[in-house]
Amino acid sequence: MFQADPQLSRVPGRRQPKPELDLKTASKQDHLRMVIVMDHQSPGKLDMQFPDIWLRDNCRCGECFLPQTMSRLPQLWNNLDTSVRVQQHSVDLDQEILYITWSDGHASQYPLAWLRERDFSLANRTRYLSDFYRPEPRHWSGTDFEHIRREFQYRDLLASDEALLEWLDHLAVYGVALIKQAPLEFDVLRRLCNRVGFMRRTTYGDEFSVRAQPGASNYAYLAAPLPLHTDMPYFEYKPGVTLLHTLEQSDSPGGVNLLTDAYHVADLMRERYPEQFRVLCQTSVDWADIGRDGELEFHNIWRAPVINLDAEGRYVRINHSIPQRDSHFTVPLEQVRPWYEAMALFVRLAHEEACSFKTTPGDVLTFNNLRLVHGRTGYDDTDRNVRHIVGAFIDWDIVYSRLRVLRNSKSNS
Ligand SMILES: [Zn+2]
């Protein structure tokens, strides 16, 4: 049965709130002020617990919530009374609704299905984060690559939402996916990006052509070997996903793609070389790209470590590009040599863990540019045979958003 526990939601004998704002007034007991709801649908399961202040903040009534924008209205926060408490509450088991009357006179109701989705239990939070927020990444070594590589048909991605979802999910989990049988036309990447949302423009335009150009504006536009790197580390908003469409491939033995899961490299360093790992996480590096492409003159700089972690210690971004690392290195003197030692190790491991393959015309290689480092071996163009790749970017915000929309429409159909 669903049943609220009145004792836990009403803590007696609390002091009157002070007239002035005092951040120390919340007692230890206040943190424990919960409304507890038993889940009659699965006996034996832990009760759902909701902090009272969270319930008040998330009231669903017309004064507090605007359904058309699916968002909270701000009035409560004009002068939020954090001492607000539950006066009365009850559960209607037939309607599956929790009713609460508050000390400020407000009345709220919450559908139990809505509460279940937001249950604070570890199991529910884990489910939400990995099933819906973002798929859990699985890191891979160079030798794992053959097992995690997956191909998708271009035609299917344009025609089927199911195929689109599988491609984006695979890209989110493994960071790489190969699309086959795309036509040898210039607008292929635009059509793919439009299926997801929209293409990301950069200082090099929308689509860009990678082919040997003497006197090129970017190192990638030379036929020389291109060492492992991420694209555009010099942007605060670095493009999230790189798409490379092979229009023509070099007949020479070169032009082979190299790819490494740099999150796996970071795992190895974290485990075996913790000091060097710390240095790469904590030393800010100046990434830069200075020059001109067509009419646009640019001077881009972004300062950030090679390995970037979020508040929970998970990887959020790798930065690495030898040509696009500035000669400015704006750290204290004593941090310079340790960084070089740690970076030499990172580069060696990235090479050891690389997989290699050669794309053929009609292939679209897609990969996570925040996570993978990529490169290619050198090649020799001939008069009749010129390697020609078209590249474009799309951002992760757009990809994750499409994934969630596709998941929602799948579960509602
Ligand atoms: Zn309300």
pLDDT at 16 over 60: no
56 C-alpha to center of ligand 1: Å? 7
Better-predicted residue by pLDDT, 54 or 94: 54
Separation CA 302–CA 238 (nearest Å): 10
Instruction: Determine the pLDDT at residue 255.
Output: 86
Query: How does pLDDT run across 305-320, given as a tens digit for each residue?
Result: 999 999 999 999 999 9
65 C-alpha to center of ligand 1: Å? 7
Residue 215 — pLDDT band, cuts 50, 70, 90?
low
Instruction: Determine the pLDDT at residue 214.
Output: 65
347 C-alpha to center of ligand 1: Å? 56
| Domain at 142-412: CATH code | 3.60.130.10
Instruction: Determine the pLDDT at residue 384.
Output: 64
305 C-alpha to center of ligand 1: Å? 45
61 C-alpha to center of ligand 1: Å? 4
Under 8 Å between Cβ of 387 and 250: yes
70 C-alpha to center of ligand 1: Å? 14
Sheet with strand 388-394: strands edge to edge: 151-153, 176-180, 364-368, 241-248, 388-394, 208-210
Residue 10 — pLDDT band, cuts 50, 70, 90?
very low
Residue 284 — pLDDT band, cuts 50, 70, 90?
very high
Identity of the amino acid at 43: P
81 C-alpha to center of ligand 1: Å? 14
Residue 12 — pLDDT band, cuts 50, 70, 90?
very low
Instruction: Determine the pLDDT at residue 42.
Output: 64
Instruction: Determine the pLDDT at residue 297.
Output: 96
231 C-alpha to center of ligand 1: Å? 48
Better-predicted residue by pLDDT, 354 or 220: 354
93 C-alpha to center of ligand 1: Å? 21
- Per-residue pLDDT, averaged over 59-68, amounts to 96
107 C-alpha to center of ligand 1: Å? 6
- Could you tell me the residue ranges of all domains in the chain? 6-133, 142-412
97 C-alpha to center of ligand 1: Å? 15
85 C-alpha to center of ligand 1: Å? 14
157 C-alpha to center of ligand 1: Å? 44
Residue 8 — pLDDT band, cuts 50, 70, 90?
very low
Separation CA 34–CA 233 (nearest Å): 45
Residue 380 — pLDDT band, cuts 50, 70, 90?
confident
58 C-alpha to center of ligand 1: Å? 8
12 C-alpha to center of ligand 1: Å? 24
Under 8 Å between Cβ of 245 and 179: no
- Per-residue pLDDT, averaged over 12-32, amounts to 46
Instruction: Determine the pLDDT at residue 43.
Output: 62
Q: Give, in order, the Cα–Cα distances in Å from 88 to each of 4, 112, 115, 304, 398.
A: 10, 17, 18, 51, 43
Residue 107's DSSP bridge partners are 101
- DSSP H or E stretch at residue 65: strand 65-66
pLDDT at 288 over 70: yes
Instruction: Determine the pLDDT at residue 125.
Output: 96
Better-predicted residue by pLDDT, 296 or 252: 296
Under 8 Å between Cβ of 386 and 320: no
Instruction: Determine the pLDDT at residue 356.
Output: 95
Better-predicted residue by pLDDT, 107 or 37: 107
150 C-alpha to center of ligand 1: Å? 49
pLDDT at 234 over 60: yes
SS3 of 130-177: HHHHCCCCCCCCHHHHHHHCCEEEHHHHHHCHHHHHHHHHHHHHHCEE
Better-predicted residue by pLDDT, 349 or 79: 349
Task: Tell me 129's DSSP state.
Answer: I
What percentage of residues in the chain have a pLDDT greater than 90? 77
124 C-alpha to center of ligand 1: Å? 25
Better-predicted residue by pLDDT, 234 or 217: 234
Residue 253 — pLDDT band, cuts 50, 70, 90?
confident
185 C-alpha to center of ligand 1: Å? 55
pLDDT at 182 over 50: yes
Instruction: For residue 393, count other CB atoms closer than 10 A to its CB.
Output: 23
Specify whether domain 6-133 bears CATH 3.40.640.10. Answer: no
Residue 33 — pLDDT band, cuts 50, 70, 90?
confident
Instruction: Determine the pLDDT at residue 15.
Output: 42
